[in-house]
Each structure stands twice: as structure tokens, then as C-alpha cells.
Amino acid sequence: MKLIQQFFFSPMQVRHFASVVLLVFSTHFCSAQKSETGNWFIYSGSQSFQTKWNWANEVQYRSYNFAGDMQQFLVRTGIGFNLSENNNNILLGYGFIRSENYQPDTNLKTGFNEHRIYQQFVTRQNFGRVFIQHRYRLEERFLPNDVFKLRFRYFLAVNIPINNATMIKNTVYISAYNEIFINGKTPFFDRDRVYGAVGFVITQNIKAEIGFMSQVLDASRRNQFQVVLYNTIPFRKH
């Protein structure tokens, strides 16, 4: 807290920011009776291959416990285009999701596959040491038995470097995001995720985070630890 005050914020701004964060997290922890904790391992890549084009790639392994009890396996990929230099990216993508859900009050699992097509727009901005990302995503979800669902997602993320002014090599930073999911038909609320983490910039194009996420659904809540690796090594020379 003192480091943040020293580098960017006034004491009043820090107290206000902390109050908002505590309020959001308290809402999550009090909004549902049922709570379980799992773990997600995430790899997220974005490789530029021309001046404005990029290839997005993502793999997630989600477990009911630390690693051995799979909840979901997710693969996403897509092609994006920057509307402005290194920013305002539009992307068309595809996702494959394998889910294994426990049947109520049993130790038996039911597995199914889901295919998604998605379109998204990402824009970034920074204010001093605060780096902000907005992501707007529309998903067309193809589920078993010819079930089709439409879903909108809004993602707001903040990164704040601690020991350097920008996100350069060997920077320690704090990361937070909130993402809300809205269905195309009732019930409109699908879920809301709040996340906080500590990260480290390993090289100019690789960084890692360890964090915790609270996810609120309509009638339950799940907590997740997360281990995340980001890779933006380009395919082309700058």
C-alpha cells in the first residue's frame, strides 16, 4: 500500500480504491450459500505475424481440486486485427470446451462437449501507472442435443506495476479484473467473476500470475485459485 501511495496515488485515493475492492469482494462472498474451491491452470498467447494481424491462442485446465479432478478443459483460438497501432483489436475466434460435471448428490460425472464461435473487441488505455483493458465478447454456443445459446461478456482488467513505472522485464505488478456474463434470453444473468493476483514480468513477452477468483452464479458460488502464463512472443521481427 505504501509503495502505491508513493508512486501514484494520494492517501485518500488509496483508501477509496481499497473500499471499492472490499465492497465488491464482500458482495461475492455473501451472495451465495454454497461455496467450493478449485484451481485453474491457464496459458494465454497472442502472437503478431504482420504489422496489424495477430493469432490468439489459449489453453485452460480447470480442476475441482488442485489438479487431479478435471472440471473443464478449454481451447480457444482466433485471428485478430488492430484498428490502431498495437490497440483496438477486433477478433474472430473458435473455442472447444470439454466439461465434466458432477451429478447432484453423487460422485458420478457427466461429460459433454461444447463448441463456440466468438467475436470480440479489445481496447487498452493507461493513466500513469494504471494500465486498463476493456474486452467486449459475443459468444455463439453450440451445446449437445442441438441446443444453441447466445452470451455477451464484458471484461474490465487493471494492471499496476509496483517496482517500475511500466511493465518492463523484472517488474512485479498487481492485477485485478471483473467480468460479467449476460445471456441472450432469460435468465439474463449468467455469472460474475472477480479476480485479484500478483504477477511478474519474466521477459518483455512473457509474464506469470498467481491469483484468486470468486465466481458468482445464479444459485451458487465457486472460488478458484489461478496459475497463469502469458506469452506475446511475435512471429515477426519488429
Out of 1.10.3470, 1.10.1300, 3.40.50, 2.40.160, the CATH code matching 2-231 is 2.40.160
Residues pairing with 167 in the sheet: none
Mean pLDDT of 66-77: 94
197 has a pLDDT exceeding 90 = yes
21 has a pLDDT exceeding 60 = no
Provide the pLDDT for residue 133.
Answer: 98
**pTM of this structure:** 0.83
14 has a pLDDT exceeding 60 = no
- In degrees to the nearest 10, what's the CA dihedral of 58, 63, 64, 69? 150
Q: In 3D, which of 223, 177, 184, 203 has the Cα closest to residue 24?
A: 177
Residue 144, judged by CB atoms within 10 A of its CB (0-12, 13-18, 19+), counts as: exposed
Mean pLDDT of 95-110: 91
Provide the pLDDT for residue 156.
Answer: 98
**Could you tell me the residue ranges of all domains in the chain?**
2-231
Residue 176, judged by CB atoms within 10 A of its CB (0-12, 13-18, 19+), counts as: middle
Amino acid, single-letter form, for residue 120 = Q
216 has a pLDDT exceeding 70 = yes
11 has a pLDDT exceeding 70 = no
Q: How confident is the model at residue 237 (pLDDT cuts 50, 70, 90)?
A: low
Contact 185, 178 (CB under 8 A): no
Mean pLDDT of 49-71: 94
Residues pairing with 93 in the sheet: 78, 118
The Cα–Cα gap between 74 and 59 comes to 6
CA distances from 112 to 67, 101, 118, 159 (A): 20, 9, 19, 35
Provide the pLDDT for residue 1.
Answer: 41
Mean pLDDT of 71-92: 96
| Choice between 19 and 93, residue whose per-residue pLDDT is larger | 93
